[in-house]
């Protein structure tokens, strides 16, 4: 299967060019095209806790698309599927710092963990207090191609939104970090691929997935999941919903829980299909006695043009729901303002 051509200029400049585009249509953001750091361009309250995330590019809108009022203060964008280096994370940390300390939201991949840790040490040298929240929400596999322990995936969106609201509200850095660890402990994800994806500049997909098969438990860089199965002739979305919700429920019992739910497209799957999957996911949750408090359906944590979807949930409380509902204004998530 020949890969579809990419709408890029020079594959080697894909991230720089994409950030140039983000800057061109979002004058409210400050975009450093050398360091590949995106930060809020507006004044923040002195002492507000700064929120920083980042990781490899290719997962857009994650993370740069979540920079703005009520969410991240800055994001460090690595090369495609590659951790940002410590200097980038340090630059993002400085851009996010308003004197109240900074929280790093780090997806659990070995490179990200190491580079954020080094950046935190460098920031400490400059008297910026950094707390770290490690996101490891993916129940599909323990230990993977780039990870010791579970991978960080769709649940990252819950963490970034809730902590963004908490930081605006004035919580202290240790409180924001503690809340982040609580949100992580409540978040679970499971993804499925129907096609592979190809990184810019490569002429081969990152992994091999024959048409007619799907990979259950896929990672967001095409890391292997639990198993590969033939795509059934009918009931594909039901099968995906059942597998994902069962895997999550087995790990975190969902009965009687109020949930934030994300039915997330991996990049190449149209919204028509994501809506069908959403119907089946809600039916599966219903059948387990869980309630959908809020839901998002769309492309939020992607893997280039990979076809497939991920189901993420976060068990919630009235306090968490209030933080979820608080105003947010970012390129990819906006309400209340």
Positions 307 through 336 that interact with a copy of itself (CB under 8 A): 307-309, 329, 331-332, 334-336
To a copy of itself, the closest distance from the beta carbon of 209 in angstroms equals: 9
Told to check if 243 binds a copy of itself by CB under 8 A, we report no
Q: Which residues have a Cβ under 8 Å from the Cβ of 182 and sit 6 or more positions away?
A: none
To a copy of itself, the closest distance from the beta carbon of 131 in angstroms equals: 30
Told to check if 130 binds a copy of itself by CB under 8 A, we report no
Q: For residues 335 and 154, give the distance between their C-alpha atoms in angstroms, rounded to a whole number.
A: 20
Positions 87 through 126 that interact with a copy of itself (CB under 8 A): none
Q: What is the SS3 assignment for 284?
A: helix
Positions 61 through 80 that interact with a copy of itself (CB under 8 A): 61, 65, 80
Told to check if 219 binds a copy of itself by CB under 8 A, we report no
Query: Where is 89: in which H helix or E strand?
Result: helix 86-96
Token duo for residue 162: 């809730």
Total residues contacting a copy of itself by CB under 8 A comes to 77
Q: Which residues have a Cβ under 8 Å from the Cβ of 7 and sit 6 or more positions away?
A: none
Note whether 102 and 133 are within 8 A (CB). Answer: no
Which residue number, 83 or 132, has a Cβ lying nearer to a copy of itself?
Answer: 83
> Looking at 71, 267, 301, 316, which residue binds a copy of itself (CB under 8 A)?
267
Which residue number, 135 or 261, has a Cβ lying nearer to a copy of itself?
Answer: 261
Query: In the chain, what's the furthest Cα-to-Cα distance?
Result: 59
Q: For residues 41 and 32, give the distance between their C-alpha atoms in angstroms, rounded to a whole number.
A: 11
Stretch binding a copy of itself (CB under 8 A), from 40-48, 160-168, 176-184, 274-282: 274-282
Q: For residues 133 and 116, give the distance between their C-alpha atoms in angstroms, rounded to a whole number.
A: 11
The catalytic residue positions are: 59, 221
Token duo for residue 129: 């207090």
Query: Strand pairing partners for 69?
Result: 329
Which residue number, 103 or 274, has a Cβ lying nearer to a copy of itself?
Answer: 274
> Looking at 72, 248, 304, 326, which residue binds a copy of itself (CB under 8 A)?
304
Within 10 angstroms of residue 233's Cβ, the number of other Cβ atoms is: 6
Positions 187 through 216 that interact with a copy of itself (CB under 8 A): 194-195, 211-212, 214
Positions 3 through 22 that interact with a copy of itself (CB under 8 A): 3-11, 14-15, 17-22
Which residue number, 14 or 120, has a Cβ lying nearer to a copy of itself?
Answer: 14
> Looking at 238, 242, 288, 291, which residue binds a copy of itself (CB under 8 A)?
238
In angstroms, the Cα distances linking 244 to 192, 269, 301 are 8, 17, 16
């Amino acid at each position: 299967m020949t890969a579809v051509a990419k709408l890029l200029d020079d594959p080697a400049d894909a991230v720089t060019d994409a950030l140039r585009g983000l800057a061109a249509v979002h004058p409210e953001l400050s975009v450093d095209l050398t360091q590949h750091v995106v930060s809020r361009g507006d004044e923040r309250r002195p002492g507000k806790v700064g929120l920083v995330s980042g990781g490899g590019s290719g997962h857009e809108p994650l993370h740069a698309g979540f920079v703005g009022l009520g969410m991240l203060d800055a994001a460090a964008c690595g090369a495609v599927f590659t951790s940002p280096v410590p200097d980038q994370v340090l630059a993002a940390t400085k851009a996010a710092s308003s004197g109240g300390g900074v929280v790093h939201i780090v997806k659990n991949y070995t490179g990200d963990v190491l580079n954020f840790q080094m950046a935190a040490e460098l920031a400490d040298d400059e008297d910026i207090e950094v707390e770290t929240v490690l996101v490891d929400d993916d129940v599909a596999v323990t230990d993977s191609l780039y990870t010791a322990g579970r991978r960080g995936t769709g649940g990252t969106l819950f963490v970034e939104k809730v902590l963004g609201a908490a930081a605006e509200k004035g919580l202290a850095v240790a409180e924001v970090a503690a809340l982040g660890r609580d949100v992580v402990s409540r978040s679970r994800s499971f993804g499925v691929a129907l096609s592979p994806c190809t990184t810019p500049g490569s002429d081969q997909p990152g992994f091999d997935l024959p048409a007619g098969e799907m990979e259950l438990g896929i990672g967001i860089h095409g890391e292997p999941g639990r198993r590969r199965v033939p795509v059934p002739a009918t009931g594909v979305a039901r099968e995906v919903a059942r597998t994902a919700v069962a895997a999550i429920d087995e790990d975190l019992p969902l009965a009687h829980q109020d949930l934030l739910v994300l039915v997330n497209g991996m990049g190449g799957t149209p919204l028509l299909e994501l809506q069908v999957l959403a119907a089946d996911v809600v039916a599966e949750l219903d059948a387990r006695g869980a309630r959908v408090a809020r839901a998002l359906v769309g492309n939020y944590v992607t893997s280039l043009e990979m076809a497939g979807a991920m189901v993420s949930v976060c068990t919630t409380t009235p306090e968490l729901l209030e933080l979820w509902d608080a105003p947010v204004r970012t390129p990819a998530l906006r309400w209340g303002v």
